[in-house]
Structure 1
Amino acid sequence: MNAGHRRNRKGEGPRLRDDLLDAVTELLARSGDAGAVTIRAVAARAGVSPPAVYLHFPDRDSLLRTAIGRRFDEFSARLTAVTGGADPDADVLAAAHAYVAFGQAEPGTYRALFSTVDAGPGGLGLSDVDVHPGASALAQLVDLVTAALDARADRRDPWVVTVQLWTALHGLVDLSITKPEIPWPDPHIATDDLVHRLGLAPDLR
């Protein structure tokens, strides 16, 4: 094999970068605390020495922001893939189902994004003008809810309704992850019901 086309082994090149980002997600999922993400801990998780981390990231905050940003991009892509149709109600419902499906398929990643302590601007080392990695995903939900409310001339505050939707979906997902011994209702039916109760979709029963 030509040296220029040699695949990167563990601990080098682009593969190392991916391994480091995956290690951050795993640490967040396991600890639930952004404070657990240190250069030493990430290096140990990825199976490399701490100096190797600096080949790809200048500091711990940059590493943490990049890892969280990548995962939020994946989450946003799930929402984008099922929305953009002509019916705002259908878009909200589809996004809600995509949200729940993401949490079920990627419980560790979900908890890293939505249940991590100290992952706000301060914990990520953001300045007053920096944008949080999850801001675009939240804006996506707000836009979907706003369109659904506008379509029916509903004068409720879109932000308030978005928060109601988000907290309901988060409770459904996070509790099912952390309390698997409880006989939770079918997530598809539960999602349909909560979206309907928020007045964002027709009664589907």
Structure 2
Amino acid sequence: MEKTSPARGRNPRGQGARLREEIVSVTLRLLDELGDDQALSLRAVARELGIAATSVYIHFADRDQLVLATLERFHRDLMRAIDQAEAGAAGPVGKLRARVLLLGEVVNRHPGLYKVLHESTLNQRTAMAFKQDLAERTTTAVQRCMDAGLAPADDAATVSLDLRAAVHGAVSLRINQPDLPWTPLEEQVDRFLVKLVGIPPEAL
């Protein structure tokens, strides 16, 4: 027999925002398990919370709207964690390296969410402008290395794009082809920083 969550009571007046956040939290977990936004149903989300499906529709008109809100939450949390990792590192190179490595660590813990964020069909149907924040902050981190003379002067935005493309490719392959003979992510990231950003090996 299918296990169902216990029915929950009606939210007191003014607590609809709390239910919305609970819906997003459950969707985060389900998307991470499924790794596919098309496999998610609003009824499944409602069942996990022990509420009627209509209660989900009050906050989200359709699945795409719910998934988009959930990805925004995941990305916001990811950015906060990356910024904290950067703040704890020393020097421009250390901060850039910390940003990239933290991304890999988060993806290792939440591969399903990463796949939905970057590989889902929702990307083709909906503009996810919030993802630009990561691009801009990485460009700033690359520029700091250049300004400090720790990387050759260049177009920081182009170098940042090359770096992000390499990291995203590496992360995606590690998720989808885990049996390849991978070296530790730290070693791969250091090679990217040397070859793509131009940071001297001794500066790492």
How far is 1:169 from its partner?
Answer: 0.8
Aligned-partner residue type, residue 99 of structure 2: A
Q: Secondary structure at the match of 2:181?
A: coil
Q: Secondary structure at the match of 1:181?
A: coil
Cα distance between partner residues in 1 of 2:31 and 2:111: 13
Task: Specify the alignment match of 2:134 in structure 1.
Answer: 137
Equivalent residue in structure 2 for 1:50, among 36, 49, 53: 53
Q: State whether residues 20 and 46 of structure 1, in contact with CA within 8 Å, keep that contact through their aligned partners in structure 2.
A: no
Cα distance between partner residues in 1 of 2:91 and 2:131: 25
Cα distance between partner residues in 2 of 1:80 and 1:61: 28
Matches within 5 A, 1:84-163: 84=87, 87-119=91-123, 123-124=125-126, 132-152=129-149, 154-163=152-161
Cα gap change, 1:77 to 1:200, in 2 (>3 Å):
farther
How far is 1:179 from its partner?
Answer: 1.0
Aligned-partner residue type, residue 163 of structure 2: L
**Residues 71-122 of structure 1: per-residue CA shift (max 9 Å, x gap):** 00111012101224662111111111111111112212222222222325xx
Q: State whether residues 142 and 156 of structure 2, in contact with CA within 8 Å, keep that contact through their aligned partners in structure 1.
A: yes
Equivalent residue in structure 1 for 2:188, among 186, 190, 201: 190
How far is 1:149 from its partner?
Answer: 2.2
Task: Specify the alignment match of 2:74 in structure 1.
Answer: 71
- Kindly, what percent of the aligned residue pairs are identical? 23
Equivalent residue in structure 2 for 1:168, among 166, 169, 177: 166
Task: With the length of structure 2 as denominator, give the TM-score of the two structures.
Answer: 0.75
Aligned-partner residue type, residue 196 of structure 1: V
Q: Which deviates further from its counterpart, 73-82 or 141-150?
A: 141-150
Aligned-partner residue type, residue 87 of structure 1: G
How far is 1:134 from its partner?
Answer: 1.7
Cα distance between partner residues in 2 of 1:170 and 1:30: 20
How far is 1:163 from its partner?
Answer: 1.2
Unaligned 5+ runs, structure 1: 1-7
Cα distance between partner residues in 1 of 2:175 and 2:109: 11
Q: Secondary structure at the match of 2:144?
A: helix
Unaligned 5+ runs, structure 2: 1-5, 12-17
Cα distance between partner residues in 2 of 1:11 and 1:100: 40
Cα distance between partner residues in 2 of 1:104 and 1:144: 23
Equivalent residue in structure 1 for 2:200, among 199, 202, 205: 202
Task: With the length of structure 1 as denominator, give the TM-score of the two structures.
Answer: 0.74
How far is 1:167 from its partner?
Answer: 1.2
